[in-house]
Amino acid sequence: MSEGLPTGHGYVRSTGKVRALTLMIDFPDAKGRGTARKRYAEFFPQTSRWFKRGSYGRLNYRPVAPIKRWLRMPHPFRSYGLKRGSSFEPGYRRLVADIVKAADPRVDFSRYDLVNILVTPNAGPPAARAVLSVTYADNQHAPIADGVPLANVSFVYSRQDDGSGTLRETGYRVLPHENGHVFGLPDLYTPRGGDSAGHWDVMSEDWGAGNDLLAWHKWKLGWLGARQVECVARPGITRRALSPLGRRGGMKLIFIPVSPYAGYAVEARTNEGNDDAVCQPGVLVSWVDTRVDSGRGPITVVDSTPGGNGCTDERNVHPGLSDATFTPGKTFTGGALGTGVRVRVTERDSRGDYRVEITRYASGGGRG
Ligand SMILES: [Zn+2]
């Protein structure tokens, strides 16, 4: 998985109608408690709504649960040996093969674009102890059912409960994260946690209060039109108005490439749309490096207040980056590989758009 464009063909298309086969499974040693329908209702319709809002209606995410009851696996949960970070071989291959065997009489796998496996929450450790939820994407060697490989499958375990009493509203957010992988998005968190991209993208932090995707990810997913993205590739001054990412329409992303594989992304973030946790609205600047692997920090949000404590006390929101945005009057100055970049936020206009002035120059000459 890479931040690069275009996304590889083996991932799932992220625009138009996408049919998500959703199966609820349990095991002889972890029998489903409560109904499978209730497990399903932890994620839907919330997940479909999140995608609809985040994509400005471009992704029509249709979950389908042809089997309404728990689908019992033939072997105990512990026999598959599934742990955090397990590779597909051998445990998940066995589990996927067993899922196919159990569901195949009632499911035509060829009719779906992706598969969600909602595991009974009592199988495996609580998510607060170890997150088992995982996605195998673009996995062309997966078991085959009805003539197609189960190449894009998201598994969701346990419940992402942070003890704040918001589980009912926010517990579904692990699924948009896992599905982000089947659409080709990498992880933005690192072994150190969310200190690379904070709460500015569900691929970085998917616990607690709602968040959106970075504008770069929306561009990669095909959710922004060509006129909503500006590329500042030549030296000079560019003045634009950035519409908050949570709203429909308007310019959403200014990208300043400094090499064929990396550059700065500039976008406006406010407490709108899927962004519930934004405590300092403003202009967000981030560094995108398509050569950096998933989980190693391919996107780094620039902190306008480095070393500060942030503006939030919400759980599971990386505090230091919560006030990373540049507010009117503030300027970001940076650069790389011989290119200097300055982003000045001049004002927030009456429509709520952020006016920015971007200067691109050969570094060493333009800085004065
Ligand atoms: Zn992930």
**173 C-alpha to ligand 1 centroid (Å):** 12
**182 C-alpha to ligand 1 centroid (Å):** 10
Fold assignment, 16-182: Collagenase (Catalytic Domain) (3.40.390)
What is the pLDDT at residue 103? 98
Give me the residue spans of the domains in the chain. Answer: 16-182, 215-362
How do residues 229-252 score in pLDDT, each as one tens digit? 999 999 999 999 999 999 999 999
**189 C-alpha to ligand 1 centroid (Å):** 8
pLDDT tier for residue 66 given thresholds of 50, 70 and 90: very high
**154 C-alpha to ligand 1 centroid (Å):** 10
**140 C-alpha to ligand 1 centroid (Å):** 19
Q: Measure Cα distances from 133 to 120, 123, 130, 172, 287 in Å.
A: 12, 12, 9, 12, 28
**263 C-alpha to ligand 1 centroid (Å):** 23
CA distance 74 to 300: 44
Share of the chain above pLDDT 90, in %: 95
- Beta carbons within 8 Å of 96's beta carbon, 6+ residues apart: 142, 143, 150, 153
Residue 368 has pLDDT above 70, yes or no: no
**230 C-alpha to ligand 1 centroid (Å):** 29
CA distance 200 to 180: 14
Average pLDDT over residues 163-168: 89
Query: What's the mean per-residue pLDDT of the chain?
Result: 96
Helices and strands in the chain: count of H runs, count of E runs: 6, 17
| Amino acid present at 101 | K
- Beta carbons within 8 Å of 270's beta carbon, 6+ residues apart: 244, 245, 246, 278, 281, 352
**198 C-alpha to ligand 1 centroid (Å):** 14
**135 C-alpha to ligand 1 centroid (Å):** 7
Residue 29 has pLDDT above 80, yes or no: yes
Give the predicted TM-score (pTM) of the model.
Answer: 0.96
Residue 366 has pLDDT above 70, yes or no: no
What is the pLDDT at residue 364? 60
pLDDT tier for residue 27 given thresholds of 50, 70 and 90: very high
Q: In the structure encoding, which two tokens stand for residue 251, read together?
A: 């310019």
**331 C-alpha to ligand 1 centroid (Å):** 32
How do residues 71-90 score in pLDDT, each as one tens digit? 999 999 999 999 999 999 99
Contact 34, 125 (CB under 8 A): no
What is the pLDDT at residue 363? 77
**255 C-alpha to ligand 1 centroid (Å):** 25
Q: Measure Cα distances from 160 to 22, 82, 127, 244, 291 in Å.
A: 19, 18, 6, 28, 31
Phi, psi of 48 (to 5 degrees): -60, -40
pLDDT tier for residue 1 given thresholds of 50, 70 and 90: confident
What is the pLDDT at residue 134? 97
- Beta carbons within 8 Å of 167's beta carbon, 6+ residues apart: 159, 160, 161
**365 C-alpha to ligand 1 centroid (Å):** 42
**187 C-alpha to ligand 1 centroid (Å):** 5
| Amino acid present at 281 | P
Q: In the structure encoding, which two tokens stand for residue 96, read together?
A: 């996927």
**193 C-alpha to ligand 1 centroid (Å):** 12
**180 C-alpha to ligand 1 centroid (Å):** 8
